[in-house]
Amino acid sequence: MSSIAGTKSGLMWAVHISVALLVALWIFPTVGLFVSSFRTADQIAASGWWASLFPQEQNLVLRTADPSKQAQEGDLYVISGNLFADNNEPAAGISAWGVSSRAISDYEPGETADMGDDGRITIEQNGDYRLENDVAFEGRRGERIFVTATTPPKFTLENYEHVLLSGSTTDSMAKAFFNTLTVTIPATVIPIVIAAFAAYALAWMRFPGRALLIAAVVALLVVPLQLALIPLLRLHLGIGIGKGYLGVWLAHTGFGLPLAIYLLRNYMVGLPRDIIENAKVDGATDFQIFTRIVLPLSMPALASFAIFQFLWTWNDLLVAKVFLIDATGETTVMTNQIVELLGTRGGNWEILATAAFVSIAVPLVVFFAMQRYLVRGLLAGSVK
């Protein structure tokens, strides 16, 4: 009975589990990246993103108040306060502390550490401290204290402010964001326009060599992109295009056209023949049929390819490296900017996580906004 059309297979549970696992494998890294983009460097180093909602033990480097805050009590000079309040940190409970980076947990709360010429300091569990000396404190900065504390969850927008609003050309993603839009939008629209005309001609117009053109389009689908990079770059340099937006638009157009033509042609050839023939009988030209009938009916296929092309060009690094990147960084795209951050900010995982999520945010919005067209477009031409 399981082979009868319309009945459900007994293995549907396996299909559901597999789909759930695939969804989880895609969602968990994305959620982790999103959560990490709001965390501080200390929190990321101390625990994973899944523990971000719970208190956690961290090693913090805090400073006492500067010597200008000292007060004289008899023969002693005293600086007092709270380590967390003085450093704009949320209140926490200290389990151990130290005055040297080599011994960050030598003392327990309530104990006193002898700092030599810098005086003596006592630190309580809640962060209250008392630093005293027989002579006046000198210098401009407070003493550095290493504490091990259980801190509450903390989320911040400083990472996004740094990435999007920083004036630094090496850290800011704002310019790279608009550069990527400048590359992606034309590189998505141009191949769709060209491929739509070509697909209609291959589907509904009769001319010599049509079968050979269709075979050539299919053959170009298997040509590796890397094989054409250097010859195409030499062609661009030879005709004076050089490295710039025009060159990268043409490169993405050339690499995207075979799939676009193949996908749209398979969809258009499956449209009802009666509609096309009736339009011709009524005196409509091929251009009128294409613009008024075929294009509106082909929106699922057009949207499906637009999703693929947008994602490919937005996430592209290789083509941008070859055809676009310049010495000044004025045309740097987001993928290359993240590579630069890996070199300059290799230890700042909060900055890298934020930059990476900014990079994937737009593709996520485009995908979810147009996903209803995706399956319809992928099935184009598969059934009559």
Interaxial angle between packed helices 174-204 and 158-165, expressed in degrees from 0 to 180 and rounded to the nearest 10: 70
Kindly state the tokens that stand for 205: 């117009």
Q: Where are the beta strands (DSSP E) in 46-92?
A: 56-63, 71-73, 76-82
Residue 146: strand pairing partners:
61, 98
> For the structural domain made of 162-378, what CATH number should be given?
1.10.3720.10
Q: Tell me how far apart the alpha carbons of residues 248 and 324 are, in angstroms, rounded to a whole number.
A: 6
pTM: 0.71
Kindly state the tokens that stand for 109: 């709360």
Q: Tell me, what's the pLDDT at 193?
A: 93
Q: Contact 302/196 with Cβ under 8 angstroms?
A: yes
Burial of 260: CB neighbours in 10 Å, binned 0-12, 13-18, 19+: buried
Burial of 93: CB neighbours in 10 Å, binned 0-12, 13-18, 19+: middle
The CA-based angle 23-27-33, given to 5 degrees, is: 165
Q: Tell me, what's the pLDDT at 383?
A: 46
All structural domains of the chain with their residue ranges: 12-51, 56-151, 162-378
Q: Tell me, what's the pLDDT at 346?
A: 58
How, if at all, do strands 144-151 and 56-63 pair? antiparallel
Question: What's the DSSP call for residue 56?
Answer: E
Residue 134: strand pairing partners:
none
Q: Tell me, what's the pLDDT at 187?
A: 93
Q: Contact 137/71 with Cβ under 8 angstroms?
A: no
Q: Tell me, what's the pLDDT at 381?
A: 46
Q: Residues with Cβ < 8 Å from 12, sequence gap 6 or more?
A: none
Calculate the CA dihedral of residues 274, 278, 280, 282 and round it to 10 degrees: 180
The CA-based angle 368-372-373, given to 5 degrees, is: 110
Residue 366: strand pairing partners:
none
Give the max Cα distance, the chain: 109
Q: Can you say whether the dihedral through the CA atoms of 89, 93, 97, 101 is positive or negative?
A: negative
Output the tens digit of pLDDT for each of the chain's 384 residues. Answer: 445 555 566 678 888 899 899 888 888 888 888 998 898 887 887 788 888 888 888 888 899 998 888 898 888 999 999 998 888 888 888 989 998 888 888 899 999 998 888 889 999 999 999 999 988 888 888 889 999 888 888 888 888 888 887 655 555 678 888 889 999 999 999 999 999 999 999 988 888 888 898 899 888 888 888 888 888 888 888 888 877 888 899 999 989 999 899 988 988 888 888 888 888 888 888 889 888 889 888 888 888 888 889 989 998 888 888 888 765 667 788 888 888 777 666 567 888 888 888 888 888 888 787 777 666 555 554 444
How, if at all, do strands 76-82 and 144-151 pair? unpaired
Q: Tell me, what's the pLDDT at 74?
A: 87
Q: Which long-range CB contacts under 8 A does 239-245 form with residues at least 24 apart?
A: 243/323, 243/324, 243/325, 243/326, 244/323, 244/324, 244/331, 245/182, 245/183, 245/186, 245/324, 245/331
Q: Where are the beta strands (DSSP E) in 68-183?
A: 71-73, 76-82, 93-98, 112-114, 120-123, 128-133, 144-151
